[in-house]
Structure 1
């Protein structure tokens, strides 16, 4: 299963980008033996429309148009469902075992995600009801994808109960 992150906005060079890349590089290395590949990041341009609704709509069209056919979609949204890392990893493993070829984690822009993205998602996931800076969300996604690979492969990085 190829895994990708599709994010609205560009993350500037700096320590946050470096940390996110480090976790994704680790996920690539750990994922090889368990059928998880890719871990690519695609950055979409932020919309310049005049209203929040129009911006979300334009961004949604771009995000959805870039999805591989029949991809599993995880949309990050503060109104989504919270999952423990083990449950997140288990879901990824189940989709992989079902033969799903692509999984895309979507991170919206400053205005959030349009309803069409949430409706298309197989899972609407929340890291917290709090609002997080885009850079932190990218790092948390990368780390949780790496953690999922370690859980699925039995690596000791994840030491949950």
Structure 2
């Protein structure tokens, strides 16, 4: 199993990068005993100005073949943290790779979004894609602690 966050844009050094690194490091340490791999971050950037279609092509190249495709989109399902953890456990138990895709400022091209296995939302509001990375990294770590029975997550 591989876990990938594929995102449009390059994350510069700053508080968001530190938070993402911290949560993904915590996940890597806690997930090892659960059979969860470290998360790889794949950043893509369309330097030619091709818009969402070009971004989708770059994102598609970063997604492992056959991976469960999870797009982050404001129209997606709002899962609880335990529901999200159960999805991750299911992919782990199937030995299936999973790719979480975060689009750019204009979102994710419908051609890629419509082929997703799951679309999730962090609420009906639109979030800056750099903050979505932080929130996703935290939720991956939280899912890991839920699966481990760690008290980090409280009901």
TM-score by length of 1: 0.92
Q: Residue 77 of structure 1: which of 73, 76, 81 is its match?
A: 73
Number of equivalenced pairs? 155
Structure 1 residues 66, 44: closer, same or farther in 2, change over 3 A?
same
CA deviation vs aligned residue, 1:57-78 (integer Å, no higher than 9, x gap)? 0001111122111111110000
Paired residues for 1:55-94 under 5 Å: 55-94=51-90
CA deviation vs aligned residue, 1:74-129 (integer Å, no higher than 9, x gap)? 100001111000000001101111221x1111000011000112122110011011
Find the counterpart in structure 2 of residue 13 from structure 1.
Answer: 13
Find the counterpart in structure 1 of residue 119 from structure 2.
Answer: 124
Paired residues for 1:6-155 under 5 Å: 6-49=6-49, 54-100=50-96, 102-155=97-150
Secondary structure class of the residue paired with 1:62 = helix
Q: CA RMSD in A?
A: 1.1
Q: Which runs of 4+ in 1 moved over 3 A?
A: none
For residues 142 and 31 of structure 2, the distance between their equivalents in structure 1, rounded to whole angstroms, comes to 10
Unaligned runs of 5+ in 1: none
For residues 119 and 113 of structure 1, the distance between their equivalents in structure 2, rounded to whole angstroms, comes to 10
CA deviation vs aligned residue, 1:27-53 (integer Å, no higher than 9, x gap)? 00011011111211111003543xxxx
For residues 36 and 93 of structure 1, the distance between their equivalents in structure 2, rounded to whole angstroms, comes to 9
